[in-house]
Chains A and B, each alone.
Chain A
Amino acid sequence: QKEVEQNSGPLSVPEGAIASLNCTYSDRGSQSFFWYRQYSGKSPELIMFIYSNGDKEDGRFTAQLNKASQYVSLLIRDSQPSDSATYLCAFARSGYALNFGKGTSLLVTP
């Protein structure tokens, strides 16, 4: 089983701050990386994907990938209480499915 490691948290940040979520993976052959957000009792929702080294920005979200260090991160700028959720990191395995980490719980406090 190819592994994805995430700090389970909870990560607590004040409203308006930058939340930084990190993920490491063991499969050097991985090419595609994804961040999902999951609210309690709901299904995972894709918020970012990144395929190349470097940064990718979409609104308040920035995904960062460093394949040499096998590290992917998600930055959330201007964090809002509505961002409070579990964030799941995933990478593509074998071209046919995603392997997920156990998720980091984020709490944004007003």
Chain B
Amino acid sequence: DTAVSQTPKYLVTQMGNDKSIKCEQNLGHDTMYWYKQDSKKFLKIMFSYNNKELIINETVPNRFSPKSPDKAHLNLHINSLELGDSAVYFCASSQGGGELRAFFGQGTRLTVV
């Protein structure tokens, strides 16, 4: 039973398109995240949500819009995709309340052509 699952696993799309990545966790955690891992493997926080409320927006272009319909789901919508958006996007969750041990989904490899 997958704890943090995200779909799709691979996404290839053209510049200028809009795409979404979905994430769900069944751990009962209060906090969810989106991380971006670039080609140099640097893993950087993009957004953090706690109980559906945005806590961290780490200077991400406003083409990226996270949405948390409930605390088990955190989706990422990206408008007007650019070549530089190509990366692996990881969803993660942690218990919250200061407990930050994060558990990661399998990642979505986004390629913009």
Taking Cβ atoms with an 8 Å cutoff, the residues of A that contact B are 32, 34, 38, 42-46, 49, 86, 88, 92, 94-100, 102-103
Contacts and interface: CB of A to CB of B under 8 A. Distances in A.
B83 interface: no
Contacts, number: 52
Nearest to A32: B100
Contacts of B106: 42-43
Contact of A97 (B33, B42, B90, B101): B33
Interface of B: 31, 33, 35, 40-45, 48, 50, 55-56, 90, 98, 100-107
Contact of A95 (B45, B100, B102, B105): B100
B100 A102 contact: no
A88 B43 contact: yes
A49 B95 CA distance: 15
A42 B107 CA distance: 8
Contact of B100 (A38, A86, A98): A98
Contact of A96 (B31, B90, B105): B31
Nearest to A86: B41
Contact of B56 (A45, A92, A94, A102): A94
B42 A100 contact: yes
Contacts of A88: 43
